[in-house]
C-alpha cells in the first residue's frame, strides 16, 4: 500500500472542517493544568460537611474518577480507525481529545488526594455503573481493533460520545452544580468541573459530527444509533436511582425528579441533533457550526 501525504499535496489541510475547528478550540481552551487549581478552600469546606454530604461527593467524584480513567483507556481504538482512514484533520483533533481525558483523570485524583481520600472507592461503583464502564464501554470500543465497519464506528461513538459523555457525564455535571454551586462550596472542585465541561462539549461535538457523517454516508445507521440509545436509556435511569439511594432528594437538596428529568432530556436532545443528519450531504455535515453541536 502506497501512502498519500495529504498535507504536502494540493489538498493541504482542510481548515473549514469541523474537526479542524475543534482542534483550534482545543489548543486555545484545553491547555489548563489541573495542578494549578487551588483546593485550599475545598479542604476547609470538606471538614464542615455532614457525613451524608461527604458520601454524596465521594460517590459522584469516584464515579467520575473511574469514568475518566475508562474513557482515557478506551479511546485509542477509535483514534486508530480514524488514522487508518487517513482523516488527518479528525486525527489531529483526537490527539487533543485523548490529552484532555488524561487531564480529567488527573484532576479528580488530585482532588481526592487533597481531601485525604486514598481508600478504595470502588464501593461506589454499583452493578449498573460496572455494567456500563466495566463492560459495555470497553467492549464497544475494543471491537474497533478488529472491526472497522461504519456499524462498529457508529456503535462505539454512540456508547462513548452520546451516552457516556452526552448523557451520564452531563447529568453528573448537573448534580455537581445543583449540589455544590448552590451551596457555594468546593470552589476548586467546581472550577475544574467547569473546565471539564467545556472540554467535554468539544468531545461530544466531535462524536455528534462523526455520527452525523456516518449517517449521511449511510442513512440506515440512524436506526442502529436509535436502537442502541433506546437500549442504554434504562441504564441511565437506573444509575440515577442508585445515585440517590432511593431517596426523593440527596443531602444537598438535589431532587431525584429534577435529576431524572435532566437525564432523559439529554437522551432526547442527542437524538434530535443526530436526526438532523438525515438527508444532508457529507459536505453539509463537515461545515456544521460548533454551536450546532453544543460546543461551548
Q: Does position 279 have pLDDT exceeding 90, yes or no? A: no
Q: How confident is the model at residue 292 (pLDDT cuts 50, 70, 90)?
A: confident
What residue spans define the domains of the chain?
A: 38-293
Long-range contacts of 278-282 (CB under 8 A, 24+ apart): 278/215, 278/219, 278/222, 279/219, 280/212, 280/216, 281/216, 282/213, 282/216, 282/217
- CA–CA distance, 25 with 29 (Å, rounded to integer): 6
Convert the pLDDT of each residue in 211-224 to its tens digit: 999 999 999 999 99
Could you tell me the three cell numbers for 156?
A: 462505539
Check residue 222 and give its pLDDT. Answer: 95
Of 14 and 227, the structure prediction assigns the larger pLDDT to: 227
Check residue 228 and give its pLDDT. Answer: 97
Check residue 277 and give its pLDDT. Answer: 82
* pLDDT (average), residues 33-47: 98
Convert the pLDDT of each residue in 232-268 to its tens digit: 999 999 999 888 777 888 888 889 899 999 999 998 9
Per the prediction, the chain carries an average pLDDT of: 93
Give CATH for domain 38-293: 1.10.620.20
Of 291 and 6, the structure prediction assigns the larger pLDDT to: 291
Could you tell me the pTM of the whole model? Answer: 0.94
Residue 234 CB-half CA count within 13 A: 4
Amino acid at each position: 500500500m502506497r501512502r498519500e501525504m495529504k498535507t504536502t499535496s494540493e489538498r493541504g489541510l482542510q481548515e473549514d472542517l469541523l474537526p479542524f475547528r475543534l482542534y483550534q478550540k482545543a489548543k486555545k481552551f484545553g491547555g489548563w493544568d489541573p495542578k494549578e487549581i487551588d483546593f485550599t478552600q475545598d479542604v476547609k469546606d470538606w471538614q464542615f460537611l455532614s457525613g451524608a454530604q461527604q458520601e454524596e461527593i465521594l460517590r459522584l467524584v469516584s464515579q467520575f474518577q473511574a469514568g475518566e480513567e475508562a474513557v482515557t483507556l478506551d479511546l485509542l481504538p477509535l483514534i486508530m480507525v480514524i488514522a487508518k482512514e487517513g482523516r488527518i484533520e479528525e486525527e489531529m483533533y483526537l490527539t487533543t481529545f485523548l490529552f484532555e481525558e488524561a487531564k480529567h483523570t488527573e484532576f479528580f485524583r488530585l482532588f481526592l488526594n487533597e481531601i485525604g481520600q486514598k481508600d478504595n472507592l470502588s464501593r461506589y461503583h454499583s452493578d449498573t455503573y460496572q455494567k456500563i464502564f466495566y463492560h459495555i464501554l470497553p467492549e464497544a470500543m475494543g471491537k474497533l481493533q478488529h472491526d472497522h465497519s461504519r456499524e462498529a464506528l457508529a456503535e462505539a461513538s454512540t456508547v462513548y460520545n452520546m451516552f457516556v459523555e452526552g448523557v451520564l457525564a452531563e447529568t453528573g455535571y448537573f448534580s455537581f452544580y445543583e449540589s455544590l454551586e448552590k451551596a457555594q462550596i468546593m470552589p476548586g472542585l467546581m472550577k475544574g468541573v467547569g473546565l471539564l465541561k467545556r472540554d467535554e462539549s468539544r468531545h461530544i461535538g466531535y462524536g455528534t459530527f462523526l455520527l452525523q457523517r456516518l449517517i449521511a454516508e449511510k442513512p440506515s445507521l440512524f436506526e442502529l444509533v436509535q436502537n442502541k440509545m433506546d437500549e442504554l436509556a434504562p441504564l441511565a435511569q437506573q444509575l440515577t436511582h442508585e445515585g440517590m439511594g432511593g431517596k426523593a432528594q440527596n443531602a444537598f437538596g438535589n431532587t431525584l425528579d429534577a435529576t431524572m428529568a435532566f437525564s432523559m432530556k439529554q437522551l432526547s436532545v442527542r437524538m434530535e441533533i443526530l436526526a438532523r443528519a438525515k438527508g444532508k450531504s457529507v459536505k453539509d455535515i463537515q461545515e456544521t457550526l460548533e454551536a450546532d453541536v453544543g460546543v461551548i
